[in-house]
Amino acid sequence: MPSTLRTHIKKEFLLIGLIFLFAYLCSVMFNLSESFFYFFSEYEKYNVDEVFIAINITGMVVFIYGLMRINFMSKEIKKRIEAEKTVDWISSHDVITSLPNQKFLDSFLSRHAENKQLANHAAFSIEINRFKDINDLLGYEHRNEIFKIVGQRISFIFPDNVFKLRGDEFLAFKSNKDKTDLFLLGERIVSSLCSPIPIEGFTFNIAANVGFSRFPEDSDDLRQVIQQSACALHMAKKAGREQVMGFIPAMQDNLLATALFRSDFKKALANKAFTVHYQPLVDLRTSKTVGFEALARWETGKAVGFVALQRIDPDNGAVEIGWINWSPLMKRTLCSTEAIYLLLDYVLGTLQYRRCAWKCDSLHEAAIKAAERLGFHYEGTLRQQQISKGHSRDTRWYSIIDSEWGVINHAMHLWLNSANFDDRGRQKQSLSAFMGLTSN
């Protein structure tokens, strides 16, 4: 609006100048000075010349006053424009760190959708934690000092395209045209943010987690890439403090399964679908009952996971275990290990196959740990073996062959024995411990 008003005033001033030029040209062409002199002489008795002079003087005064008003209004308009710029800056930036905020990010993404300026970039979602010591010792207001320092440290690593989002989260974009090792960069971010911070004579350490996703390798939609980096950040937080994780498609499946589990759990509570079993707690020294504990069982009536045999090759006695997808009810449970054991025993024991394979994404740490825990031997990695959901995947291969099954079978039998678990279902000896015993 101020710029429009300024333009309007300039147009009016230009119009006045054109009128003056037109009047001057007419005076020259028609010799108006002599006409006015004759007119004034003819009507001298009416003081026409004095009236004309008064009108001209008044017009000059009004003209000068108008110029002064235009100058004054121009300054006011300039101040208003600066004030609006300040308000717009405040609305699109974080007041504490001076970094662009969510509103600026939304505008940035809209511009990107038009000109595709972020090809071959990686999005890093960063979250800061461990503020409790600072809050307890110095008070909540010192969090702002921490955020300023964190913002400066992130901006040093990423000179451009750093955003302060809600709560303790930051977002940064990094060009990946030079094929930077994003894991090493993520570790550099964690190392920088976790360096000691001096405040009022005290030295504090904070913690950070980082998740990243790549554009366009993981998705050709930048908003989806940001969501994926947030998903990777969530998994990094679950893994512990100061962890860095890159996005893989299985992470979204995991989050979806967790969300469904929580929804079903709340419904089960509302519908009283839990069966409670009580058992006494006995002091073995006195043989007296000192209390009771309750075990709640939830009969869902639903499948809690699935697994399949694939690439079945009867002629060569080879098969692969795949499509493993456990719900939160089955993950890290006795049931999940027993399900794999039953498949292995069927393939290598009942069918007398010679080889059972297991493959997984090289970035899928949970699947890698599971394969090694179950006794599968690492064979190698097929680099850039396939593209899965827009993600370039390196595939790690593992296997168990028939000559190895006897030792692994015995170790699993020992681990699955009920004597290896207490009343609460907790293992007494790990499967890896039994693997080590049976192999010696």
pLDDT of 238 > 70? The answer is yes
pLDDT at position 115, please? 57
- Asked if residue 264 is part of any domain, the answer here is no
Taking the model in full, what pTM does it have?
0.53
Q: Which domain holds residue 68?
A: 2-92
79 and 116 both lie in a single domain? no
- Asked if residue 289 is part of any domain, the answer here is no
Nearest Cα to Cα of residue 246 among 333, 144, 364, 161: 364
135 and 74 both lie in a single domain? no
Q: Which of 247, 265, 288 is the last residue of a domain?
A: 247
How many distinct structural domains can be found in the chain?
3
- Asked if residue 413 is part of any domain, the answer here is yes
pLDDT of 329 > 80? The answer is no
Q: What is the average pLDDT score of the chain?
A: 82
3: exposed, middle or buried (Cβ count in 10 Å: 0-12, 13-18, 19+): exposed
64 and 195 both lie in a single domain? no
74 and 125 both lie in a single domain? no
- For residue 183, give Cα distances in angstroms to 36, 169, 189, 190, 385: 90, 19, 10, 11, 20
Q: Which of 31, 62, 92 is the last residue of a domain?
A: 92
- Asked if residue 293 is part of any domain, the answer here is no
Among 35-49, 200-214, 311-325, 393-407, the least confident range: 35-49
167 and 119 both lie in a single domain? yes
148: exposed, middle or buried (Cβ count in 10 Å: 0-12, 13-18, 19+): middle
pLDDT of 380 > 90? The answer is yes
213 and 125 both lie in a single domain? yes
132 and 242 both lie in a single domain? yes
- Asked if residue 109 is part of any domain, the answer here is yes
Summarised one tens digit per residue, pLDDT across range 106-157 is: 888 887 766 566 678 889 999 988 766 666 666 666 777 888 888 899 989 9
Half-sphere exposure (CA, 13 Å, Cβ side) for 68? 6
Please tell me the distance from the alpha carbon of residue 22 to that of residue 29, in angstroms, as a whole number: 11
193 and 317 both lie in a single domain? no
pLDDT at position 163, please? 93
Please tell me the distance from the alpha carbon of residue 430 to that of residue 436, in angstroms, as a whole number: 10
227 and 195 both lie in a single domain? yes
- Asked if residue 281 is part of any domain, the answer here is no
110 and 225 both lie in a single domain? yes
109 and 152 both lie in a single domain? yes
Summarised one tens digit per residue, pLDDT across range 37-79 is: 667 677 777 777 677 778 778 878 887 887 787 777 777 777 7
345 and 228 both lie in a single domain? no
Please give the average per-residue pLDDT across 321-336, as a whole number: 82
